[in-house]
């Protein structure tokens, strides 16, 4: 039976070397994972060493955390590229490759420049003796705390490929949710843009020509026509007043929301704003349930899951409420009861969660909760995507109708004046 030498990482983050007998490399990887190790490098016994060292065990994990961050830590990646990276890495590890080999292949295979640079930095961090999760901490704007903690759990349990597969499914769910919302709101947004552009063109091109023509006739203008001309005068000569007012309001908003209390008050207003808040709320419900189900399925403790979910919330008011929920759970309260006291979630959500807590099938129940609220989110998005175009069409039709009425009033007045002169 062939002999292999290997370098692997223990659950505590330290590196260790050794040798073992296996039928092939795949069998060697399985043996290392059974010892709760993450294989970094595997070579047949007696094989020539690469010119580049595979790892530097002399670097302790504490020093690895303070190692210099790679170039490009400020990069952001679209969620589609993060999904691609996770999926490719999962496939390579499942195919029997070591982490060192898998990252090396990604560096050579990936075509996206930013994704290629991130993969290269992660690979270099692995060569320098750091774990994958430690190297990912250099990219906080790319890899979320949830992502990093799940990778860390996979390294500690020796099941990194399985964890990455679950991350792929989780990212796919989140991506699908975002795509549905964006696609449903794309048409209303385009309609609003076209309507505003149409009104601006009408007011700045057609109305000035009408004004010049009517001034040559010397006729008294109807009130509607005079109002249209005055509106055009304000738009073309005092447009800067609107810009200054808008800039002033934006500055006041930034000043008011800069303190933590101001931001919390504003986000609280948005969370409870009638109608507008329904889509963000249901999106949060679905994402919260889906993420909690994923974390529970992967053995992450409830308190750690709540800490990660706090960081996931992009609403300061919700984040503050989630901190109080975690404190209540630490004091012995059930999660559903703590969330009910916070007043963030609907009764259906909390009732289904309570059933999951009582039956012991918490992760499965939270998956069903996510499905229910994703369907409800689809309904809300469909309602908005139907209502908004209708409202936009009504507003545009009303404005255009008023403009046409103002123009026709002037034309009819001019025609009546000419007929009176002829008689």
Q: Please indicate, yes or no, whether residues 297 and 366 belong to a single structural domain of this protein.
A: yes
User: At residue 375, does pLDDT exceed 80?
Assistant: yes
**Domain shared by 210 and 338, yes or no:** yes
Q: 224-234: per-residue pLDDT in tens?
A: 778 877 887 88
110 and 22 fall within a common domain: no
- Please report, in angstroms and rounded to a whole number, the separation of the first and last CA atoms in the chain: 117
Q: Any bridge partners for residue 8, and if so which?
A: 16, 39
Which positions ≥6 away from 242 have C-beta within 8 Å? none
Residue 407, pLDDT score: 78
Q: What are the CB-based long-range contacts (under 8 Å, 24+) for 297-302?
A: 297/166, 297/363, 298/150, 298/153, 298/163, 298/166, 299/153, 299/157, 300/149, 300/150, 300/153, 302/329, 302/335
Residue 148 forms part of a structural domain = no
- The predicted-structure confidence for 196-205, as pLDDT tens digits, reads as follows 888 778 777 7
pLDDT at 248: 93
Residues 317 and 406 in one domain: yes
3-state secondary structure of 196: helix
DSSP 222: P
Shared domain check, 313 and 178:
yes
Phi, psi (degrees; rounded to nearest 5) at 215: -65, -30
Whole-prediction pTM: 0.63
In a shared domain, residues 318 and 421:
yes
Give the number of other CB atoms < 10 A from CB of residue 160: 27
The structural domain count of the chain equals 3
- Angstrom distance (rounded) from CA 351 to CA 355: 6
Indicate whether 123 and 183 sit together in one domain: no
Model confidence over 120-148: pLDDT tens digits? 888 888 888 788 888 888 888 888 877 88
What pLDDT was estimated at residue 50? Answer: 42
Q: What is the CATH classification number for the domain harbouring 196? A: 1.20.81.30
- Look at residue 249 in the predicted model and tell me its pLDDT: 92
User: Is residue 349 located within the same domain as residue 270?
Assistant: yes
Q: Which position has the token pair 């399925």? A: 297
- Count how many residues are written for the chain: 423
**Residue 104 belongs to what domain range?**
72-143
Distance CA 26, CA 4 (A): 11
Exposure string for 231-244, b = 16+ CB within 10 A, e = fewer: ebeeeeeeeeeeee
Q: Does residue 190 sit in the same domain as residue 90?
A: no
């Amino acid at each position: 039976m062939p002999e292999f030498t290997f370098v692997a990482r223990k659950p505590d983050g330290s590196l260790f070397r050794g040798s073992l007998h296996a039928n092939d490399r795949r069998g060697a990887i399985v043996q290392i994972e059974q010892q709760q190790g993450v294989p970094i490098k595997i070579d047949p016994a007696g094989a020539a060493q690469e010119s580049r060292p595979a790892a530097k065990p002399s670097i302790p994990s504490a020093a690895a955390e303070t190692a210099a961050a790679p170039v490009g830590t400020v990069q952001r990646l679209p969620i589609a590229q993060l999904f691609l990276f996770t999926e490719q890495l999962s496939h390579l590890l499942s195919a029997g490759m070591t982490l060192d080999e898998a990252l090396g292949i990604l560096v050579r295979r990936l075509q996206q420049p930013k994704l290629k640079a991130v993969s290269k930095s992660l690979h270099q961090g692995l060569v320098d003796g750091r774990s994958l999760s430690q190297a990912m901490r250099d990219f906080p704007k790319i890899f979320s705390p949830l992502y990093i903690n799940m990778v860390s759990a996979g390294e500690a349990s020796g099941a990194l490929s399985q964890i990455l597969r679950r991350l792929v499914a989780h990212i796919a769910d989140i991506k699908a949710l975002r795509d549905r919302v964006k696609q449903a709101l794309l048409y209303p947004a385009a309609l609003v843009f076209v309507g505003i552009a149409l009104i601006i063109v009408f007011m700045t091109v057609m109305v000035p020509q009408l004004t010049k023509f009517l001034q040559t006739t010397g006729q008294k203008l109807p009130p509607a026509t005079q109002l249209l001309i005055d509106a055009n005068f304000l738009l073309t000569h005092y447009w800067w007043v609107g810009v200054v007012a808008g800039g002033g309001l934006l500055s006041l908003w930034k000043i008011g929301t800069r303190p933590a209390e101001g931001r919390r008050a504003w986000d609280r207003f948005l969370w409870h704003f009638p109608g507008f808040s329904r889509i963000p709320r249901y999106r949060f419900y679905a994402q919260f349930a889906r993420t909690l189900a994923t974390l529970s399925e992967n053995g992450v403790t409830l308190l750690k899951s709540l800490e990660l979910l706090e960081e996931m919330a992009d609403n300061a008011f919700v984040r503050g409420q989630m901190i109080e929920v975690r404190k209540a759970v630490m004091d012995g309260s059930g999660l559903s009861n703590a969330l009910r006291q916070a007043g963030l979630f609907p009764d259906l959500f909390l009732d289904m969660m309570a059933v999951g807590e009582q039956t012991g099938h918490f992760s499965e129940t939270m998956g069903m909760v996510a499905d229910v609220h994703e369907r409800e989110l689809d309904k809300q998005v469909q309602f908005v995507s139907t209502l908004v175009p209708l409202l936009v069409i009504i507003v545009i039709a009303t404005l255009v109708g008023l403009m046409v009425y103002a123009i026709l009033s002037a034309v009819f007045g001019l025609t009546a004046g000419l007929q009176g002169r002829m008689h």
